[in-house]
Amino acid sequence: MQASEIAAFVDESHEAGPETRETAARLSALMRHVFAYDRGHQLRVIEESGLTMTQCKALLELGGLGREGAPPQQVSDLAETFGVSVPSMSRAVDALVKSAYVTRIEDTEDRRVRRVAITAKGKKLVDTLLIVRMAGLQSFAESLTAAQRRKLDAAVDSLMDRDDIAQTFEHLKEVKT
């Protein structure tokens, strides 16, 4: 996302009503607390891997949340997904290839097209990140009272009718910590 696009996005978010802003503030407080609750373990794994944020996002996308069979993608598709330029994503992918986290493969339908697929080494890192994240979230969930956990479960359950959230949930249930 370019600076002008970010500015437009921020301007649009200021047009939200007070209830929406309140919900966003509550979610932000919760996310910040939950993200920090693991005492930085997830960030440490990323830091020790040497990945940039763009590389990490691309790897997680290619890793398909740790599930088997995530389809290879074109660099341009990854760039669009994360709102970065194609040259920027191409540099990120080049570094991932050099580190053996991903590989480039020929498209089966168009030999001129190269796709990017995660390697076993890349999948292992994605799995590690997911395990560390889940362990932190489990630790946070354990810190809640039974009543707080029931309320949180009810709130989250009300969002499970969204396909994007439900699919992610199904994949994450399989992550073993």
Q: What is each CA distance from 137 to 33, 42, 64, 144, 170, in whole angstroms? A: 10, 11, 19, 11, 16
Supply the pLDDT for residue 142. 92
**What distance in Å separates the CA atoms of residue 47 and residue 41, rounded to the nearest whole number?**
10
CA dihedral 72, 77, 89, 137 (to 10 degrees): -70
Question: Domain 38-173: which CATH class?
Answer: mainly alpha
Supply the pLDDT for residue 177. 54
**What distance in Å separates the CA atoms of residue 136 and residue 122, rounded to the nearest whole number?**
21
Residue spans of the domains in the chain: they are 38-173
Supply the pLDDT for residue 51. 93
3-state secondary structure of 80: helix
Supply the pLDDT for residue 93. 96
Supply the pLDDT for residue 147. 97
- Note whether 44 and 136 are within 8 A (CB): no
* pLDDT, one tens digit for every residue, the chain (177 residues): 455 555 555 556 567 888 988 888 888 888 888 877 777 888 888 899 999 999 999 999 998 765 566 789 999 999 999 999 999 999 999 999 999 999 999 888 888 888 999 999 999 999 898 888 888 888 889 999 999 999 999 999 999 989 888 888 887 777 665
- How many alpha carbons fall within 13 Å on the CB side of residue 115? 15
